[in-house]
Chains A and B, each alone.
Chain A
Amino acid sequence: MSYVIGVDTGGTFTDVVVMNEEGEITTAKALSTPPTFIEGIVNSLEDAAQLQGTTIDGVLSQTDVFVLGITVATNTIINRSGAKTGLITTVGHEHVHHIARGGLSKWAGLPESEIKEAFRTKKMDPLVPKALVRGVTERIDWKGSVVCPLNVEEARQAINSLVDEGVESIAVCLLWSFSNAVHEKELKKILSETYPQIYSSFSHELVPTLGEYARTNTTIIDSYVGPEVKKFLISLDDLLASRGLKHPMLVMQAHGGCVYGREARPFTTFSSGPAAGVIASRYLGELMGHGNIITADVGGTSFDISLIVDGSLTYAREPVVARFPVSFPMIDVVSIGAGGGSIARVDPLTGLLRVGPQSAGAYPGPACYGFGGTEATVTDADLVLGYLNPDYFLGGKMKLYADKAHKAIKRLADQLGWDVTMTAAGIYDIVNAQMADLIRSATIERGYNPSDFALFGYGGNGPVHAAIYGAELGISEIIISSVASTLSALGLATSDILHGHRMFQPNPMPMDPDRLNNNFKALEQMANQELDGDGIKEEDRIFNYAIDMRWGAQYYTLRMPIERKKYDANGVRALCKQFDELYESLYGKGSAYTPSGRFVTAFMVDGIGKIPKPVLSKHEPGGADSSKALKGKREAFFRAYNEYRPIDIYDFTKLEAENLISGPAIIESEQTTIVIPPGQKATVDEYLNIIIK
């Protein structure tokens, strides 16, 4: 037997997915154990091994691929527990991280409602104090020409003085280093010769992109979280090796590809869990024949969505980490504060019902948890409406108190002058509308039609709402995976290695084809060398090309994936046409303004190393009749009836491929509840996913 393992740690639970060579999946959950997390990982692996009838060493010694999703980087920033970090930058620009583009860090990453209270928004506290910043004499201009050479002696003194201050890490970000890295390279040489033990980060290596503020943030963040993340990855890798894992462990990165844990640049491990959920959706989509997917993850406090278009991931245009704008590629996961724990309240000024963005969190949580929460939440409304089973939450491991939910909602109802049912239904409607709006803003606003997409609903609270907001948007199919609650771990188990490289070089289009070919050749060579090092076979390597383009009279660039081939003059002209079409498809006919000319500004190559992975196993069809899975009836309220009626309840684990369920119905498993409203139908596919239409 050989295994592929995905472990997602950092949330309340550590999830593990073990897939064997037949494609059979075993999942397990264990409580996370911050701050080290390693114990929780071992516990979850032990549980999974037990389910396979073996030991942790037994599983690990037969594991070909082990992929990890972590939040160590995120936690380090949020807890401000990172390394004492110094910054070296261009003289005169020492305060780039503090000026923060004149207030951008006051509002970047905040919801609109908070941004509007403009005089009270506050800049993020800097990660590097001014006292630990050193400006060195050097300057490069926009063409990449040296205006003033690096003063080496001064640079040495700057480094020494930071070390004297006791810094553990040094971040180096000079102006225009992405265009000419000569001075950063000199600093790297000095640092590695004089203080090899100090962790260091160089902007030209991490993110060769225009814009010194986000690039400096990225470099600082890498230095700040670097020692902690490195230590964690190395000690876990050593531990796993000592327990029998033959191949080094892989770690998921924000852009959705993996690298070997020991090689990972720490800053790339942000959001690796959410990224993995998106990867899993893409994997399932490929199996099921869906190229266009909306991933919708409803947790306790937030609703996170991302898009997969034609089988490709979408990336954030202005990525933000812990409210710091950064410049590295991250899968575009957008969120709003709408989850099971979102609090409903009556606006004191207008008497209108509102839901969120405040959340009761996991503790005290919704009133029905019985942990002392008294405010009405979305979960309380779901319970009052009969969607949740008070005796079968987490498979009965946790009791829900319907009376407490009722009481919390009654308080709102009294203020509104409505009854409890209408108030609960109102909360349900409002949160569904908010979810629909977020999806709308992520699809329609970018020129995509939701009806061309399938929606993957996951996270513990997602499937209660998915069918409603999905129908509102006209989404073609709503898919609830049989592993919906551990989807991120599945994503880890089904990911590939990815090395991204980019080069900044502005050229008016049509540009010289030789120059273009040489750029891509150089980038591909870098990725190739890394894939050599990873031991990926030639035939398992894929190289994706892309360019950033804009109009001459324009500012923003548009990323355009292009064919991997040798370009001639005609090929370059065809790229211009491809750009025009892409532009008009996004901004409407006539928006392409050709008299201003076109420019290409950057070249990108993603080198992907395919990791062999088993295919999910299929199940024998059991016919349309789903009555075997029927476990009883429960009173539930639906708008279409405007009253409570007895509704069929099904056991998710007893459903068979091809089973058909007509709404209204509720499907329950230990980890999730699926609501199928009146008028909609659910079928079970050969992987035991529920598909609602």
Chain B
Amino acid sequence: MKGSRTVEKGKIDPITFEILLHRLEQIIAESYYTISHVSGSAVVIEVGDHQEAILDNKGDLTLFGGGLVHWTPSLSLATKYIVHEYEENPGIFEDDQFICNDPYIAVSHAPDIALVAPVFYKGQRVGFAAAASHQMDVGGRDPGGIMVRPESCYEEGLQIPALKIIEGGVWRKDVVNMIQASVRTPVFSIQEIASKVAANNVTKARIVELCERYSLDTVLTLFGQIQDVSEEMVRAKLRRIPDGKWRALHYNEGINPEKLPHYKLFCTLTKEGDTLTYDMTGTDPQSPQCENSAYPAAIGNLLAAYVMMLCHDIPWSSGIHRPIRFIIPEGTIANPTKPGACSYTTPSGSGYAILGLGQELMSKMLQTSEEDRKECCGVTGGAIQDSQPGGINHDGTYFTTILMMGIAGGGGGLPDRDGDNTAGNMWCPKTKISDAEMHELLYPVLTLNRTELPDTGGIGKYRGGNTFVTALMPWDAGSPLTNVGLSHGFDVRVGNGTSGGYPAPNIALQIIRNSNIRELFARGEFPRDVKEIEGEREYPYPKSLWTVNSDDVSVYWCSGGGGYGDPLERDPKLVLEDVREGEVTIEYAKEAYGVIIDPTTVKIDLEETERLRQRMIEERLKEGA
């Protein structure tokens, strides 16, 4: 008996294809591992704020990894820019690497720095390796990379369309010196760039090995075929979803509330056959400040949920982008024209609102498809309350970082269960926050608490996960600490529910100035609740720059998840379980779910519950009329 099978001409046979796809996934995983082990930034290592990719010769994505999903179109755009602009001058040669951080060309904002490296095999270019991570300081008006004061991109520090920083495998001293002269953390910044150089080196070496083993032609074919396969797969999924139009509206609070309190971000998603159109017509004009999301950031943020919800079982390549069209009017906050400033886009500007839009729209669409419904959910960690401190560290050197504990948002409610508490965000599958001990070792802060709070998830048949409150104070700092407030969703609801689920409550920020905390410590007391701390309570506008001194305690209330389904349909037994476990209070059980629980026996009064729920439905109908 002879074996037989048919292989289409010019294509790799399905078995070799599966093997090679697996190998590319391993290469990306190795690159992911490399960047985090060489980096020195908590944001990269403990939070996973980075992304790696392999690209073809045109700059389309052959495969990207499980890091920050909303950056993926950017790595392609950066590479395409280099191919388009630099092929002749200065040329793209073996062992070169380019650095880019211009948000109008690629990446989200200046601190997101991408490194792109051509891959050569025996003198012929095979494609590109790319790696990006969120670095901290890039110079500019405010320390730390994410700023609140700039009114044009010219105040936002480094803006590099693309510069050859590694030439023939050697660091270009002129470029390194220029970067070091422009930032507040010259040593640290180069270490962070080095981590991406190392990641690209690993990817390059592995692709060359692949060419050795399987031939250059096979690899070149593979790079195209993966994209075709992804496209086929996602189009097949789209075809099984009913055609339709879905709309979502989110707001983002402005940096200067006097100028314009809230920016409106509106998007219509149209699904027709095997195509999708994201149309942001109706979105507000661009901001005179820095909450804008330039086009690369906007499309990346719109697509994050699409990638994780619809494409999680499809190779992540440019193929999944092919069925999609974007209409984003120029001059809006989601497609500003230069010199619109962009440094605040994520996690606190319009970028975060666009991520939420993307997730809400994807949930609405998937809700209509029998086979895909299980993927939809309330918005996960839609709001954020975080902090970007800077100042003199324990060791006397200048530091700046993002603490990033605020990304532990509540998970959105799902069609079959509640969202997890303090479970993550909308843009990174491998979500995690730092240990408090790690923060205290690296930065001059003391974490007074991290406490999950009842009633902070959006209500629903399946509720959103609750969030937590955390209070911090400077500890062994060599100077007062500056702070850029990173906030979204303190004045508007953004952690939206789906399918009748409710949004999560807003986030909040409080500073207790000149507190008595050190006196409490001296008396052997430690506050169980921040309410026990005395001092002048201040509520700074969360999107601003402020300074804290050694006795000031900052309190951050973070973001819950959106609910799924009508809360009045929630099984009263689940509400009781929540009450017993401290996830929902007895008062809220009544107010939000219409479930009456006796505080002494902790049992449900079924009759009263039935009556109350009926009354609540009638009230809703009245309101509707």
Q: Is A bound to B? A: yes
Q: How far is the CA of A138 from the CA of B435 in the complex (A)?
A: 18
Interface segment among B30-38, B75-83, B113-121, B123-131: the answer is B30-38
Partner of B449, one of A93, A433, A596: A93
Q: How far is the CA of A425 from the CA of B19 in the complex (A)?
A: 13
Q: Is the CB of A129 within 8 A of B581?
A: yes
Partner of B308, one of A119, A176, A350: A119
A418 / chain B contacts, CB cutoff of 8 Å? 3-5
CB within 8 Å for A556 and B432 given contacts A137-B524, A430-B19, A593-B190: no
Q: In the complex, which of the residues A131, A421, A553, A637 has the most CB atoms of chain B within 10 Å of its own CB atom?
A: A553
Partner of B3, one of A96, A352, A642: A642
Proximity string of chain A (96-135) to chain B, C-beta cutoff 8 Å, 1 when within and 0 when not:
1011111110110000110111111111000001110001
- Residue B236 lies at the interface, judged by CB distance under 8 Å to chain A: yes
Q: Is the CB of A175 within 8 A of B437?
A: yes
Proximity string of chain A (437-454) to chain B, C-beta cutoff 8 Å, 1 when within and 0 when not:
100110011000000000
Distance between A499 CB and nearest chain B CB, rounded to angstroms: 26
Q: Is the CB of B437 within 8 A of A115?
A: no
Distance between B96 CB and nearest chain A CB, rounded to angstroms: 15
Distance between B16 CB and nearest chain A CB, rounded to angstroms: 8
Distance between A604 CB and nearest chain B CB, rounded to angstroms: 19
Q: Is the CB of A113 within 8 A of B581?
A: no
- Residue B74 lies at the interface, judged by CB distance under 8 Å to chain A: no
Q: Is the CB of A118 within 8 A of B18?
A: no
- Residue A142 lies at the interface, judged by CB distance under 8 Å to chain B: yes
Q: Is the CB of B312 within 8 A of A644?
A: no
- Residue B440 lies at the interface, judged by CB distance under 8 Å to chain A: yes
Distance between A560 CB and nearest chain B CB, rounded to angstroms: 14
Q: Is the CB of B2 within 8 A of A643?
A: yes
Distance between B238 CB and nearest chain A CB, rounded to angstroms: 11
Q: How far is the CA of A212 from the CA of B437 in the complex (A)?
A: 7
Q: Is the CB of B22 within 8 A of A425?
A: no
Q: Is the CB of A139 within 8 A of B526?
A: yes
Distance between A92 CB and nearest chain B CB, rounded to angstroms: 3
A351 / chain B contacts, CB cutoff of 8 Å? 14
Q: How far is the CA of A104 from the CA of B411 in the complex (A)?
A: 13
Q: Is the CB of A106 within 8 A of B15?
A: no
Q: Is the CB of A554 within 8 A of B39?
A: yes
A120 / chain B contacts, CB cutoff of 8 Å? 374-375, 377, 414
Q: Is the CB of A437 within 8 A of B22?
A: yes
A637 / chain B contacts, CB cutoff of 8 Å? 3
Q: How far is the CA of A118 from the CA of B6 in the complex (A)?
A: 37
Partner of A102, one of B206, B431, B442: B431
- Residue B385 lies at the interface, judged by CB distance under 8 Å to chain A: no
Q: Is the CB of A593 within 8 A of B194?
A: yes
- Residue B309 lies at the interface, judged by CB distance under 8 Å to chain A: yes
Chain A's closest residue to B431 (CB) is A103
Chain A's closest residue to B237 (CB) is A349
B232 / chain A contacts, CB cutoff of 8 Å? 349-350
B308 / chain A contacts, CB cutoff of 8 Å? 116-119
- Residue A283 lies at the interface, judged by CB distance under 8 Å to chain B: no
- List CB contacts (< 8 Å) of B225-244 with chain A: 229, 232-233, 236-237
Q: Is the CB of B437 within 8 A of A593?
A: no
A590 / chain B contacts, CB cutoff of 8 Å? 171, 194
Q: How far is the CA of A91 from the CA of B417 in the complex (A)?
A: 31
Q: How far is the CA of A96 from the CA of B451 in the complex (A)?
A: 8
- Residue A35 lies at the interface, judged by CB distance under 8 Å to chain B: no
- List CB contacts (< 8 Å) of A522-578 with chain B: 551-556
Q: Is the CB of A118 within 8 A of B424?
A: yes
Chain A's closest residue to B418 (CB) is A122
Q: Is the CB of A644 within 8 A of B1?
A: yes
Interface segment among B41-49, B86-94, B270-278: the answer is B41-49
Q: How far is the CA of A481 from the CA of B380 in the complex (A)?
A: 51
Q: Is the CB of B430 within 8 A of A429?
A: no
- Residue B25 lies at the interface, judged by CB distance under 8 Å to chain A: yes
- List CB contacts (< 8 Å) of B405-453 with chain A: 405, 407-408, 411-412, 414, 417, 420-424, 428-438, 440-442, 446-452
A50 / chain B contacts, CB cutoff of 8 Å? none
Q: B interface, how many residues as a size bin?
A: 35 or more
Interface segment among A145-153, A232-240, A303-311, A490-498: the answer is A145-153
Distance between B499 CB and nearest chain A CB, rounded to angstroms: 14
Q: Is the CB of A99 within 8 A of B187?
A: no
Proximity string of chain B (199-227) to chain A, C-beta cutoff 8 Å, 1 when within and 0 when not:
00110001000000000000000000000
A98 / chain B contacts, CB cutoff of 8 Å? 421-422, 452
Q: Is the CB of B40 within 8 A of A555?
A: yes
A586 / chain B contacts, CB cutoff of 8 Å? 37
B344 / chain A contacts, CB cutoff of 8 Å? none
Chain A's closest residue to B17 (CB) is A352
Q: How far is the CA of A99 from the CA of B435 in the complex (A)?
A: 10
Q: Is the CB of B191 within 8 A of A553?
A: yes
A632 / chain B contacts, CB cutoff of 8 Å? none
Q: Is the CB of B421 within 8 A of A99?
A: yes
Chain B's closest residue to A95 (CB) is B452
Partner of A556, one of B22, B36, B468: B36
CB within 8 Å for A113 and B449 given contacts A99-B468, A213-B435: no
Q: Is the CB of A116 within 8 A of B424?
A: no
B435 / chain A contacts, CB cutoff of 8 Å? 101, 210-213
Q: Is the CB of A555 within 8 A of B312?
A: no
Proximity string of chain B (368-393) to chain A, C-beta cutoff 8 Å, 1 when within and 0 when not:
00000011010010000000000000
CB within 8 Å for A112 and B38 given contacts A107-B430, A587-B198, A593-B190: no
Partner of B450, one of A93, A445, A591: A93
CB within 8 Å for A425 and B451 given contacts A104-B432, A137-B526, A149-B524: no
Q: Is the CB of B14 within 8 A of A112?
A: no
CB within 8 Å for A102 and B432 given contacts A352-B18, A353-B18, A587-B37: yes
Partner of B526, one of A91, A96, A117, A118: A91
Distance between A590 CB and nearest chain B CB, rounded to angstroms: 8
- Residue B188 lies at the interface, judged by CB distance under 8 Å to chain A: yes
Chain A's closest residue to B521 (CB) is A148
Q: In the complex, which of the residues A104, A416, A437 has the most CB atoms of chain B within 10 Å of its own CB atom?
A: A104
Distance between B521 CB and nearest chain A CB, rounded to angstroms: 5
Q: Is the CB of B194 within 8 A of A591?
A: yes
CB within 8 Å for A99 and B452 given contacts A131-B581, A555-B40: yes
A417 / chain B contacts, CB cutoff of 8 Å? 5-6
- Residue A15 lies at the interface, judged by CB distance under 8 Å to chain B: no
Proximity string of chain B (506-539) to chain A, C-beta cutoff 8 Å, 1 when within and 0 when not:
0000000000000011001111100000000000
CB within 8 Å for A148 and B525 given contacts A115-B430, A175-B436: yes
- Residue A141 lies at the interface, judged by CB distance under 8 Å to chain B: yes
CB within 8 Å for A119 and B411 given contacts A95-B451, A353-B18, A643-B1: yes
CB within 8 Å for A419 and B4 given contacts A112-B25, A211-B437: yes
Q: How far is the CA of A121 from the CA of B187 in the complex (A)?
A: 38
CB within 8 Å for A433 and B3 given contacts A131-B581, A139-B521, A587-B37: no
- Residue B605 lies at the interface, judged by CB distance under 8 Å to chain A: no
Would you list 18 pairs from A and B whose C-beta atoms are within 8 A, ordered by A residue? A92-B449, A95-B450, A101-B435, A102-B422, A103-B433, A116-B313, A118-B429, A137-B524, A137-B526, A142-B440, A147-B521, A176-B437, A352-B17, A425-B3, A429-B15, A434-B22, A556-B37, A556-B45
The 9 closest A-B pairs by CB, nearest first: A102-B408, A92-B449, A102-B433, A118-B429, A103-B424, A553-B40, A554-B40, A433-B19, A117-B312
Apart from the given pairs A419-B3, A426-B14, 17 other A-B contacts in the complex at a CB distance below 8 Å? A98-B421, A103-B422, A103-B423, A112-B29, A117-B313, A135-B528, A175-B436, A349-B232, A422-B3, A430-B18, A440-B26, A441-B26, A555-B442, A590-B194, A637-B3, A643-B2, A643-B3
Interface residues of B (CB under 8 A from A): 1-6, 14-15, 17-19, 22-23, 25-26, 29-30, 33-34, 36-42, 45-46, 66, 171, 187-188, 190-191, 194, 198, 201-202, 206, 229, 232-233, 236-237, 305, 308-309, 312-314, 316, 374-375, 377, 380, 394, 405, 407-408, 411-412, 414, 417, 420-424, 428-438, 440-442, 446-452, 468, 471, 475-476, 520-521, 524-528, 581-582
